[in-house]
Amino acid sequence: MATQKQRSDATRQKLLEAFRASFLARGYEATTTQQILDETGLSKGALYHHFRSKSEIIEALYAHESRAAIDRAVENVAAHGSPLERLKASYLEWTRTVRAPDMARILFEIGPSALGEAKSKEIEARAANPPIKRLLALAIDAGEIAPPDEELLVGLLNALVAEAALHQLHTERDPLATLEVTFDAIFAAMRG
């Protein structure tokens, strides 16, 4: 009937989508494998053939969402301007991007709670830090900035936008203006 790869990809997708919906609706712990198997009409064998564990599923979903967010952000930011301007613009655009409610819940609530703060940050960093660090390096080369500890600076900036993202998720108030002022201040303070 269908090729093996087609069957395999289809069930894998079916499982991921069902889990994603259930994680969003009920949270990680409250989502049971049995529920998903009932919904999809699949079996435990199928599930554990495709994934080693329940946590591997949220890990896959979290990684996918992290990459989607950063990709969309860099995609929408202008390629012209100074490195520092583009760095700031990327962060602000990311903050706008993660306003998508489902994305926000996976990135800030479900993923970290299920995987642990450490592991989720590591995954997030793997997706987001390369383009960030690239821009930062350009800014340093161009003499726009001279931070004492690049790693720490990236961490602090990430923490700032993450907090701002969380804040807008809970309060509906727009943190972008404050965020921009803050960035400008930090960049100014770290000029050569």
Partner DNA sequence: TTTATAAACCGACCGCCGGTTTGTTTACAT
Partner DNA sequence: ATGTAAACAAACCGGCGGTCGGTTTATAAA
Q: Which of the ranges 29-37, 61-69, 91-99, 175-183 carries the binding residues for DNA, by CB under 7 A?
A: 29-37
Q: Which two tokens stand for residue 191?
A: 């000029």
Q: Which of the ranges 31-39, 67-75, 123-131, 146-154 carries the binding residues for a second copy, by CB under 8 A?
A: 146-154
147 in contact with a second copy (CB under 8 A): yes
CB of 92 within 8 A of CB of 176? yes
User: Hey, which residues between 37 and 96 contact a second copy (CB under 8 A)?
Assistant: none
What SS3 string covers 104-132? Answer: HHHHHHHHHHHHCHHHHHHHHHHHHHHHH
Coil, helix or strand at residue 138 = helix
13 in contact with DNA (CB under 7 A): no
Q: Which two tokens stand for residue 155?
A: 């961490």
Q: Which residues contact 42 (CB under 8 A, 6 or more apart)?
A: 11, 14, 15, 36
3 in contact with a second copy (CB under 8 A): no
User: Hey, which residues between 31 and 60 contact DNA (CB under 7 A)?
Assistant: 31-34, 41-46, 48-50, 52-55
CB of 24 within 8 A of CB of 106? yes
Closer residue to a second copy, CB minimum distance, 137 or 181? 181
Q: What share of the chain is helix, strand, coil (3-state, %, to 5)?
A: 80, 0, 20
Q: Which residues contact 113 (CB under 8 A, 6 or more apart)?
A: 27, 28
148 in contact with a second copy (CB under 8 A): yes
102 in contact with a second copy (CB under 8 A): no
User: Hey, which residues between 55 and 94 contact DNA (CB under 7 A)?
Assistant: 55
Q: Which of the ranges 1-9, 67-75, 108-116, 131-139 carries the binding residues for a second copy, by CB under 8 A?
A: 108-116
Distance (Å, whole) CA 145 – CA 143: 5
Q: Which of 81, 101, 116, 130 binds a second copy (CB under 8 A)?
A: 116
Interface with a second copy by CB under 8 A: which residues?
108-109, 112-113, 116-118, 147-149, 151-153, 155-156, 158-160, 162-164, 166-167, 171, 173, 175, 177-179, 181-182, 184-186, 188-190
Interface with DNA by CB under 7 A: which residues?
1-5, 7-8, 10-11, 31-34, 41-46, 48-50, 52-55
